[in-house]
Structure formats: structure tokens, C-alpha cells
Amino acid sequence: MPQLMLAKRVGRFRGDPWVYSSYVLIALAALLPRVLGLGQFITSDEANFWLLRSTAFLEALRSGDYTAMPITSHPGVMTMWLGSAGILSYDGLQRVGLLSAPIFTTRLALLQLPVALTHAAGVLLGYALLRRLLPPRVAVVAALLWAADPFVIAFDRVLHVDGLAGTFSTLCVLAACVYWHHDSRQRWMVASAICAGLALLSKSPSLTLLPTVGMIALAGRREQPTSAVTRQVGSFSSYRSRFRTLTPLLLWSAIVALTIVASWPALWVNPGRVVEMLWSGVVDEGAQPHMLGNFFLGREDAAPGALFYPAAIALRLTPWTLLGLLLLPWAWRSARTHERHDLAALAGFAVLLVLALSPFPKKFNRYLVPIFPALDILAAYGLAWGAERIAALCQSGTTTTLWTQRVRADALLGKVLLLTLLNVAWWHPYEIAAFNQALGGAPSGARTFTVGWGEGLDQVAAWLNQQPDITGVLIASTQVTTLQPYLRPGAQAVTPAESLPDKTGYVVVYVRDAQTGRPGAPFDRFFGPAEPVYTVRIHGVSYAWIYQVPPPVAHARPTDFGAGIRLRGYTTISAQEGKSLRMELFWEIREKPASDYTLFAHLLGPDGRHYAQADLPYPTSQWSANRYVTTELNMLLPGNIPSGTYQLVIGLYDPVNGARLPVKSTSVPTSTLDGPNAISLTRVRLK
């Protein structure tokens, strides 16, 4: 009980407002980055799996068909429960008229919201448990590092399993430490067991909690004092001691099982099917490389080796959590016995999970999300120790008091926490792209691991939605399910086979397509050989490249006008006496034009006489490089124009001074009938 007594003394010294303020601070730090901007982008797993699985789970609940509830082997039950809650909230808001029209981003945000709120509540509950394990100042630092960990937040904001497994697993370990190391009231053991059950319902690797809690119980038993009378009783007393240790573990296991059965109705009707599906998930899925391949250390690697997870830990930590973990061995020496046991439990859980995941060829760094709250807590202890050592070294003379030293240490920790909060703001809302800045940041992460889970495609859609022709063409992309929901009505994304379908106007190459080099056909025609019209970058990493597909040209007339404008050709001409001559001109913009130019078009007869002309101002200064532009040429024809064959001569000039842009072409003859720097585009026959 020494820690509880210390916490009470500190609480009386600083007053209850400080304690309440710390809870408010941590609640805000946990809540805001998890709920702000929900629905801004959707991950591929949400689009392809979890939205559909949550809908199927809810339908099974409504219909009472519990045999349909074994949906995935993760098992992902908590994810589907929370997704179902989001669906119900969205439907309810529609029924009462608060949502007048279906909006995908709003629906997605409401589906993600129960997950985000669960995680924020988990951090706050974790802080309450940490105050029973660690000194209050260390508990505050630990909770804030957890609340503001970008890697943790990234998966706390999505409808997925890894974040939920992490939150429930951390609460399980902390509550078990409270019960077996500090306060033997059974409510802590019950809380630990319930959280273990919820973690197991989230993702099967949470099975590592079973040996972790066993080690926690064993460490607590070893610390129980042995009296002289007990030693004299001998083996019978030893048996009773073992029984007293085993009984809470058996009760804990029973509550875990009860939580799982109560929360998963599929176990009520067909437990054999559930077990079969879970076992299949381990054998058939986990034991095989991912079907889409993998990427590690700059090359394609379907089954990364043992170095994968250590590298992922180092690169996904923040610089200060990395520093805290490096200081932890020295801080360990000054820790009290109970604190050592608590820290060892957190470290043991992290090590066990890494060891359990490492033999499987299917590896992603997000599989490590469950251990990062534990790593944040361990780092907080190391940082607190380091701040105290630095404050002690900064003492000036012998007049420095212990209180002054503590203030200096708190000031150092405050700066670290401020950096932590600023770091979240820096990465938000793309915390999923966060990598350790001390080891190269996001560019280093993109060179080491597979990146791109849907982030950035919202920016792709935003740019495409601004294009005037977007509803008349197709968008080719391998990421249709994560791009299409953000396109405006009428715009359509497709995944082509070997060649682009007709009417393809834009091609989007995503970072996952390009990490291993050139993407597959037909995207390899654009990535590398062509210049993108727009590139989406997130923290220094190119995540998506948008290319405009050149429209098909009926009649090619490649001609350069100046340095940056090229005429590609025109459509079939339509001309009628007394009415008009109509055609489309196709341009390629290689460099952004410096000013607006005017197109002149002259219709010349066999005698060189001008029979019709048009001067069309073009907003060329608004044309961007690497774009394809289509313009319409419409020239009125006089009613008395004679029948015959005419030449259509065109060119571009500066309306300010009348100077024509120089013309260069190897396949189209220049026209001298109408002055320099003009081309004879085609012959027009009028009858």
C-alpha cells in the first residue's frame, strides 16, 4: 500500500483541483485527436471489410440469426459491435431528420466515432489505474504519452481491430498489476478479466495476455511475506499458499471465458463453427504471406524476417518515447519492488506479443499497435528518471532544495509533454503516416515499410472534383473502394485490366502501387515516362500521382507553338456553307504559359483570299503544365462563299503586341500564304 499512501499525501499537498485538472487534460489529449476529422479518409480494410462486416453483424443481431455471426477469424467481434452502434446512430439521426441526405463522410465518421470514444475512455481509465501503480507525476506523463502517441491514435480513429486489442490489453495488464501487486480487492481482478475477454474478442494475438497475467500473479505471490509460523507448518501451508494463488487465476480465467461467451452470440448456437473458424485464421491466413505482398527495407519482401518488428518499433516510436526507453535500464535500478514488477509486466507483455508474431510470415507494423501503450508507459518512467537526474546535475550550490529540484524536473517533463501534443497536431489527421523523426521521419518509414492504407486519396478526390470534365471521363486506379466514396456525383473510378478502358480521362497511381518500382500495366505507361498533373504529398512523402490521359485524336498534327504549347491534332471537321465550321483542337501543355494568347483561324481560298476568319481568346495563363486541353473552334461561314477546296490556317498570337508564337513542326507544313508562324491545319471542301 505505500504507493496509495504516497498518492494520498501528494493529493492533499497539491489539492484536489490538480488531480481533477490532470484528468481533464488527459481526457482532452485523448479525445480531440481521436474524434476531430473522422471520416476524412477511409482505409482499405474499412472499405473492403469492416463496413460490410459490421452491417452483416447488425443484420444477424436484428434477425436473431446468430449462426451468421462467425464472420471473420480475427475475430473482430468488438469492432463489429462498435461498428453496429455507429450504423444505428446514423440511421437514428436520419429518422429524426437531422441528416437530410445520405453523406458518406458523415456515415463513416459516425461508424468510427464509437471506436474513437472507446479508446479515449480507455486512456482515461488507464490513467486512473496508473495512479495506483506509479507516482502521480509519472502517471500523468505515461497517460499523456499514451493519449498522444501518433501510431496509437492512427488506429484508434478507424474501424479496425488492432487499436481495440491494444486498449483492452493495456487495461487488462494494468488492472492485473493493481490487483496482484497493490490492492487485492477483487474488482481489479474482475476488471482485468473483462478487458482480457474484450481484447481476445478483438484480435486473437491477445492470447499473450494469458501468460502475462500468469506472470503478474506469480510475481505478486513471491512478494507476499512468509511468517515464521507459516514456515513451520511446512508443505501443507505451501499447498494452501499455492491454492490461494491459483484460485484468483482460475476465477480470472472463468470471467474471461464468460465475457467472451456473453459478448459473442455465435458461441451460444454453434461454438464448434467458431473454434474452427478461429483455428483456420491462424493456420490458413497467419501462416501464409499476405496475398498482396509486402515491402521491407526498400524491396519487395513477401515474408520479412526477424528484423521486421524491431525495426517497426524503432521507427514507430516518437523521439521522446525512444529516449525514455533507452533511459529505462538506469531508471530500473532506482525503482521500488512493486514498480519493478509493474514495469516488468508491461515489458513482458510487449516481448511476448513480438515473439508470438515473429514466426509468422504475414507481417505488418500495425500488428504491433497493442504494445505501444505499454511502451509509452515504460518510456514515461525512464523520462521521469532522466528529468530528475538532469535537475540534480543543474543544482547551483548547496542552497537548492528538494522542492526546487522537483520543480526543475517537472519543467523538463512539461516541455516533453508539450512537444508530444504539438507532435500530434503536426501529424493530424494523417497520424498513420507518422514515423520517428529522430530516425528520418515519414520518408524513412516509406523506404522501409509498406505505406498507403487509404490516406491521401481524399486529397486525390478533392483535386479531381475540381476538374470540369471529371463527370465525363473515367478515373483509372487500383484503389477504387477508397477513392470512389470521395468523388463527386457522376465521377467514376475503375480498376482496369491490361489496358485503359475507353473514355479514361485520369490515371491515379498510389504509393502502394509504386513502392516496389514500376507499377503494373497499364499504370506503367504513366508512372515514370509521364509527368503527373498533380502529386499528393504527406509529410514529405509522395502518396499519389495523378496523370491526365491524352484524349484520342482523329487527325494528328503535332506542332509546337512557342516553348510550352503543343497542338496534338483535331477532330473530324464539320462545315456547311452559310452556317459554320466546327472542330475540336487538342493541346498538350508542356510548360505553364506566361500570358493569355489568342487563336487565329483563317479560311483561305485557292486564290489566297480570306473568306472567313475567327479570333478566339484562350485563357492560357490558367493552363497548367503536363495537362491536356481541348478547345472548340467555331467559325461562321458567309452565305455567298463559293464551292471549292479551302485551306484552314491557324496560329497563336499575343493580343497585347500582336506577335505570333513561333511555330515548329516536322509533320505539318507551315503556311506562307498568311504570314509567318502559322500552319495549314487541313483542307476544307465546301459544296
In a domain, 538, yes or no: yes
pLDDT band at 224; cut points 50, 70, 90: low
Q: Cell 528518471, residue?
A: 385
pLDDT digits (tens, 9 = 90+) for 346-385: 999 999 999 999 999 989 999 999 999 999 999 999 999 9
Please report, for the domain that includes residue 651, its CATH number: 2.60.40
In a domain, 450, yes or no: no
Q: What is the pLDDT of residue 244?
A: 67
> In angstroms, rounded to a whole number, what is the distance separating the alpha carbons of residues 633 and 630?
10
> What mean pLDDT comes out for the span 72-100?
93
Q: Note whether 147 and 175 are same-domain residues.
A: yes
Quick one: what percent of the chain has pLDDT higher than 90?
Answer: 72
* 618, β-bridge pairs: 597
Answer whether 307's CB lies under 8 Å from 313's CB.
Answer: no
| Nearest Cα residue to 684 out of 620, 625, 633 | 633
Amino acid in the structure at residue 307 = L
Q: What is the pLDDT of residue 673?
A: 72
Record the cell numbers describing residue 468, joined without a space. Answer: 470540369
Q: How far is CA 370 from the centre of its chain?
A: 16
Q: Residue 122 CB: number of other CB atoms within 10 A?
A: 24
Q: Note whether 605 and 463 are same-domain residues.
A: no
Q: Note whether 157 and 181 are same-domain residues.
A: yes
pLDDT digits (tens, 9 = 90+) for 38-74: 999 999 999 999 999 999 999 999 999 998 888 888 8
Residue 128 belongs to what domain range?
2-285+294-431
Cα distances (Å, whole numbers) of residue 321 to 181, 198, 313, 376, 437: 25, 27, 11, 6, 12
Average per-residue pLDDT for the chain: 90
Is the pLDDT reported for residue 396 higher than 70? no
pLDDT band at 16; cut points 50, 70, 90: confident
Q: What is the pLDDT of residue 687?
A: 74
Record the cell numbers describing residue 119, joined without a space. Answer: 479508446
> In angstroms, rounded to a whole number, what is the distance separating the alpha carbons of residues 397 and 671?
93
In a domain, 449, yes or no: no
> What mean pLDDT comes out for the span 284-293?
72
Q: Note whether 316 and 183 are same-domain residues.
A: yes
Q: Note whether 525 and 605 are same-domain residues.
A: no
Q: Note whether 75 and 161 are same-domain residues.
A: yes
Please count the structural domains in the chain.
3
Point out the domain boundary residue: 521, 548, 575: 548
Q: Note whether 525 and 377 are same-domain residues.
A: no
Q: What is the pLDDT of residue 284?
A: 63
Q: Note whether 636 and 599 are same-domain residues.
A: yes
Q: What is the pLDDT of residue 234?
A: 46
In a domain, 174, yes or no: yes
Q: What is the pLDDT of residue 399?
A: 54
Point out the domain boundary residue: 506, 532, 548: 548
Q: Tell me the angle at which helices 162-177 and 186-202 cross, rounded to the nearest 10 degrees.
A: 160
Q: Note whether 202 and 332 are same-domain residues.
A: yes
Cα distances (Å, whole numbers) of residue 230 to 219, 236, 241, 248: 19, 9, 10, 21
Record the cell numbers describing residue 389, joined without a space. Answer: 537526474
In a domain, 438, yes or no: no
Confirm whether pTM is higher than 0.75. yes
pLDDT band at 240; cut points 50, 70, 90: low
Which phi and psi angles does 546 have, rounded to 5°? -110, 125
Q: Note whether 514 and 588 are same-domain residues.
A: no
Q: Note whether 601 and 655 are same-domain residues.
A: yes
Is the pLDDT reported for residue 14 higher than 50? no
Cα distances (Å, whole numbers) of residue 491 to 412, 473, 475, 507, 572: 53, 7, 8, 13, 27
Q: What is the pLDDT of residue 463?
A: 97
Is the pLDDT reported for residue 392 higher than 50? yes
Cα distances (Å, whole numbers) of residue 499 to 138, 494, 503: 59, 12, 12
Q: What is the pLDDT of residue 400?
A: 60
In a domain, 445, yes or no: no
pLDDT digits (tens, 9 = 90+) for 468-501: 999 999 999 999 999 999 999 999 999 998 899 9
Q: What is the pLDDT of residue 226?
A: 43
Sequence-distant (≥ 6) Cβ neighbours of residue 96 within 8 angstroms: none
| Nearest Cα residue to 382 out of 336, 415, 335 | 335
Q: What is the pLDDT of residue 600?
A: 95
Answer whether 153's CB lies under 8 Å from 431's CB.
Answer: yes
pLDDT band at 288; cut points 50, 70, 90: confident
In a domain, 442, yes or no: no
Q: What is the pLDDT of residue 394?
A: 80
Q: Note whether 400 and 489 are same-domain residues.
A: no
> In angstroms, rounded to a whole number, what is the distance separating the alpha carbons of residues 597 and 553?
23
pLDDT digits (tens, 9 = 90+) for 194-210: 999 999 999 999 999 99
pLDDT digits (tens, 9 = 90+) for 537-568: 999 999 999 999 999 999 999 999 998 999 99
Answer whether 590's CB lies under 8 Å from 610's CB.
Answer: no
Quick one: what percent of the chain has pLDDT higher than 70?
Answer: 92
Is the pLDDT reported for residue 8 higher than 80? no
> In angstroms, rounded to a whole number, what is the distance separating the alpha carbons of residues 204 and 279?
10
Point out the domain boundary residue: 498, 517, 548: 548
In a domain, 581, yes or no: yes
pLDDT band at 431; cut points 50, 70, 90: very high
Q: What is the pLDDT of residue 4?
A: 38
Answer whether 660's CB lies under 8 Å from 678's CB.
Answer: yes
